[in-house]
Amino acid sequence: MKHYKAPIKDIWTGRVSNKWLYLHEKVHCTPLEELPEAQKKSIALLGYACDEGVSRNQGRPGAVNGPDAIKSSFAKMPNHLPGQVLLHDVGNITCDNGDMEAAQETLSDTVLTLLQKKQFPIVLGGGHDVAYGHYHGIERYLDTKKEAQTIGIINFDAHFDLRKNTEQNNSGTPFYQIAMECQEEHIDFNYLCLGIRKDANDRVLFQTARDLDVTYVMSDTFQAPFLEEINTWIHAFVKNVDHVYVTIDLDGFSSAYAPGVSAPSPMGFTPYIVLECLKTIMGSGKLISLDIAEMNPKYDIDGQTAKLAASLVHHVAHSIAGS
């Protein structure tokens, strides 16, 4: 398949126990064409190896290697997944010759396939343009159902990513693109942003967010002392949608935790507040898919950002598995 590479087994290395104590011993490297329909709980890790959108958005390239860096770090972590829960690495979507739009289309097709095969997709990026293709894969899957079902997007991020795509699509435009398509289809654009910073978004972006009726929590409120209030907003948002798609932009974290990103800042949020919010979201039973964006190993320090991303995947995977 064009814009697709099968999983690489060499990424999955670590301490050997011969007792499935580590995730590299648990994972199945399964090309998409060989992936069966899941008969029990099954998680599929899919890379989005593309930073063309970052380059178009005047960011630092390097996130193309993000998916494999996250998988490599995740491989070394302890495995607490129940034996009956399956874990697959299904490879990476690639961006050939700068054709980001084709990569997004392939991502959409692949997410649709994963959901149809009853896999829980965890997509690893790659630029935040991952969100456009990922969302459409979910939307197409839900369109196959007999009843209309709504999607709520929860974005952990310093940025709205609501830039207008008047010149070209990039890593800063995915949610604006989705919003415009929602308007064309006469459906609600359900978008909650957690961790927004004034020093990361200009006045036009704040006005666009207001015009589109986006719900957002500013960074000075997205902190542990306000967790109860934040959870109230999350509960209210989730209550009004049928399914939740979560996207986590690593550049929303403080660079103390995530130096290896396309747009680092020391003023970002902490891992603790994200983990607590994820507990609330997953507790709703509505989470349908999740991605992690902007992992840039070129600028990482001692693999710190890759470890953060891998820890987030570890948390989500084990929560889904009920372990």
Residue-wise pLDDT for 264-285, tens only, equals 999 999 999 999 999 999 999 9
Cα distances from 30 to residues 34, 36, 242, 316, in angstroms, run 6, 9, 30, 20
Q: Is 242 annotated as a binding residue?
A: no
> Residue 145: its pLDDT value, please?
85
Q: Is 128 annotated as a binding residue?
A: yes
Pairing type for strands 86-94 and 4-5 reads antiparallel
Average pLDDT over residues 134-143: 97
CATH topology of domain 4-321: Arginase; Chain A (3.40.800)
Q: Could you tell me if 249 and 155 are in contact, meaning their C-beta atoms sit under 8 angstroms apart?
A: yes
For 1-5, 8-12, 154-158, 202-206, which range has the lowest pLDDT when averaged over its residues? 1-5
The full set of domain ranges for the chain reads 4-321
> Residue 111: its pLDDT value, please?
98
Integer-rounded Cα radius of gyration of the chain? 18
Residue-wise pLDDT for 75-119, tens only, equals 999 999 999 999 999 999 999 999 999 999 999 999 999 999 999
Dihedral-angle region of residue 98 (phi above 0 means left; psi in -120 to 50 means alpha; beta otherwise): left
Q: Is 161 annotated as a binding residue?
A: yes
Angle between helices 174-185 and 130-143 (to 10 degrees): 30
Residue-wise pLDDT for 24-45, tens only, equals 999 999 999 999 999 999 999 9
| Rounded (10°) CA dihedral 4, 137, 204, 168 | 40
Average pLDDT over residues 210-225: 98
Give the closest residue to 298 by CA, choosing from 1, 65, 70.
65
Confidence of residue 186 (pLDDT cuts 50, 70, 90): very high
Residue-wise pLDDT for 157-169, tens only, equals 999 999 999 889 9
**H/E segment holding residue 152:** strand 151-156
Pairwise CA distance, residues 112 & 142, whole Å: 9
Cα distances from 218 to residues 50, 192, 281, 311, in angstroms, run 29, 11, 19, 24
Residue-wise pLDDT for 284-309, tens only, equals 999 999 999 999 999 999 999 999 99
Q: Is 188 annotated as a binding residue?
A: no
Burial class (CB in 10 A: 0-12, 13-18, 19+), 97: exposed
Q: Is 10 annotated as a binding residue?
A: no
- Does 146 score more than 90 pLDDT? no
Where helices occur in the chain by DSSP H, the ranges are 23-26, 52-56, 66-75, 100-116, 130-143, 174-185, 203-211, 227-239, 271-283, 304-321
Any idea which residue has 């990424």 for tokens?
11
Can you count the helices (H) and strands (E) in the chain? 10, 10
| Average pLDDT of every residue of the chain | 97
> Residue 323: its pLDDT value, please?
64
Pairwise CA distance, residues 283 & 62, whole Å: 34
